[in-house]
């Protein structure tokens, strides 16, 4: 087969899923929802990017109502959300792709972090300390959302543990004065992430669960970033093994040239390892041949090139994404109107 010599286009068995290539669509919030309900054109958007045996991760879906002003991102906490996701999932399945739902805890206007630790600057809003009841509530929200995602027809879920959100914030709390079970030591700081993993795993089964981290990233005014993100990444990757989850998805540092920052985390994790963040075709191929990753998740390239795996196969020129329309709410422009190869060369 033509694609066989290109590592990114070789087949891969991810748990129970047989993938025909390793070019994964990274989760990307597109802010095209109507009051948290996924917009119907999302079915076209995702199905344009679906291939037989491909793997797509949907944009982050909120597990509970988000703070004000965040309503154009989708939810997955209600029956209405489940029904709205169904035709989107069906459209992706009709093209033969595996489709996971990324689960995001959005924070709430008055919420921040776990009791006794440093306050978390919640997404957009003022922090406070989370009580143990609130922690239980968040865990329950993850549980219900994972159940809902399965009811909507998704093949599994990816826990959003990256980019300065609650899980990531707690992972990076290295300096809380030693007061509680969620701060200071790696064991403590990983506790919440692992509680979420355990909760979701118990609900839908480990073979349907992935998690995403970005140990190198600084987001949303998170002042704390572990001084040794690689060690933190390796620790959490290793800790996940106990739960037997399907995959660990790590985002490499923004400023890196190449592909090898995540290798130690890949070595530490027993399941499928997905790498993301600034990869081009060559980096992706190298990362796979050097066994630094099993799969590569592409964000902006997939957004701008609905037929990205085909273009990689043919060595065809790639469309560039349009920054101006990444997050606008037009259901077509910058969303479903990126040209396919045939249209480019016609
Ligand atoms: C428009 C846009 C929306 C994104 N939304 C999410 C998201 O919902 N969840 C997430 O984990 N990462 C999100 N990301 C990050 C991407 O998944 C990816 O890690 C990032 O774009 C780097 O990969 P790339 O260089 O291949 O684009 C988003 C990125 C973009 C460009």
Phi first, then psi, for residue 14 (nearest 5°) are: -100, 100
d(CA 275, CA 33): 28
pLDDT score recorded for residue 257 = 62
CA–centroid distance, 346 to ligand 1, in Å, is 30
Phi first, then psi, for residue 90 (nearest 5°) are: -60, -40
Please list the pLDDT of the chain residue by residue as tens digits (346 residues).
Answer: 444 589 999 999 999 999 999 999 999 999 999 899 998 999 999 999 999 999 999 999 999 987 665 688 999 999 999 999 999 999 999 999 999 999 999 864 334 444 333 333 344 444 556 678 888 999 999 999 999 999 999 999 999 999 888 888 888 876 544 456 887 889 999 999 999 999 999 999 999 999 999 998 876 455 567 788 899 999 999 999 999 999 999 999 876 666 678 999 999 999 999 999 999 999 999 999 999 999 999 999 999 999 999 999 999 999 999 999 999 989 999 999 999 998 655 4
| Three-state DSSP class for residue 84 | helix
The number of the ligand 1 atom at minimal distance from the alpha carbon of 158 is 11
Instruction: List Cα–Cα distances, 7 to 10, 11, 132, 306, in angstroms.
Output: 5, 9, 47, 20
- Which residues surround ligand 1 with Cβ inside 6 Å? 26-29, 59-60, 102, 160, 162-163, 212, 251, 276-279, 298-301, 326
CA–centroid distance, 27 to ligand 1, in Å, is 6
> Ligand 1, atom 23: nearest CA belongs to which residue?
277
| Three-state DSSP class for residue 227 | coil
pLDDT score recorded for residue 128 = 56
> Ligand 1, atom 7: nearest CA belongs to which residue?
28
The number of the ligand 1 atom at minimal distance from the alpha carbon of 59 is 8
Domain ranges of the chain: 2-345
CA distance from start to end of the chain: 26
pLDDT score recorded for residue 125 = 43
d(CA 305, CA 341): 8
- Strand 295-298 with 272-276, pairing: parallel
CB-hemisphere CA count at 13 Å for 322? 11
pLDDT score recorded for residue 226 = 79
The number of the ligand 1 atom at minimal distance from the alpha carbon of 160 is 11
d(CA 79, CA 147): 11
CATH class for the region spanning 2-345: alpha beta
The residues facing 115 across adjacent strands are none
């Amino acid at each position: 087969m033509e694609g066989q010599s290109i590592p990114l286009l070789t087949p891969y068995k991810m748990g129970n899923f047989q993938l025909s290539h390793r070019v994964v669509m990274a989760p990307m919030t597109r802010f095209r929802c109507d009051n948290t309900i996924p917009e119907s054109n999302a079915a076209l958007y995702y199905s344009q990017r679906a291939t037989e045996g491909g793997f797509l991760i949907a944009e982050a879906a909120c597990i509970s109502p988000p703070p004000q002003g965040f309503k154009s991102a989708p939810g997955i906490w209600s029956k209405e959300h489940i029904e709205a996701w169904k035709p989107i999932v069906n459209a992706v399945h009709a093209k033969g792709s595996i489709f996971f739902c990324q689960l995001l805890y959005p924070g709430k206007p008055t919420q921040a972090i776990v009791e006794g630790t440093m306050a978390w600057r919640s997404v957009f809003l003022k922090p406070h300390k989370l009580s143990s009841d609130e922690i239980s509530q968040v865990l329950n929200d993850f549980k219900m959302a994972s159940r809902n995602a399965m009811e909507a027809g998704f093949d599994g879920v990816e826990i959003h543990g990256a980019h300065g959100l609650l899980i990531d914030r707690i992972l990076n709390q290295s300096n809380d004065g030693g007061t509680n079970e969620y701060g200071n030591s790696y064991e403590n700081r990983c506790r919440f992430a692992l509680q979420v993993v355990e909760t979701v795993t118990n609900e839908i089964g480990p073979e349907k669960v992935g998690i995403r981290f970005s140990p190198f990233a600084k987001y949303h005014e998170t002042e704390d970033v572990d001084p040794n993100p690689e060690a933190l990444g390796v620790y959490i990757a290793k800790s996940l093994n106990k739960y037997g989850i399907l995959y660990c998805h790590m985002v490499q540092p923004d400023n890196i040239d190449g592909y090898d920052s995540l290798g130690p985390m890949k070595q530490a994790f027993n399941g499928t390892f997905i790498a993301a963040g600034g990869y081009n075709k060559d980096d992706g191929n190298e990362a796979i041949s050097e066994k630094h990753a099993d799969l590569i998740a592409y964000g902006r390239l997939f957004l701008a090139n609905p037929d990205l795996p085909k273009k990689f196969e043919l060595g065809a020129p790639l469309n560039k994404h349009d920054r101006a329309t990444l997050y606008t709410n037009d259901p077509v422009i910058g969303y479903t109107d990126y040209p396919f190869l045939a249209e480019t060369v016609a």
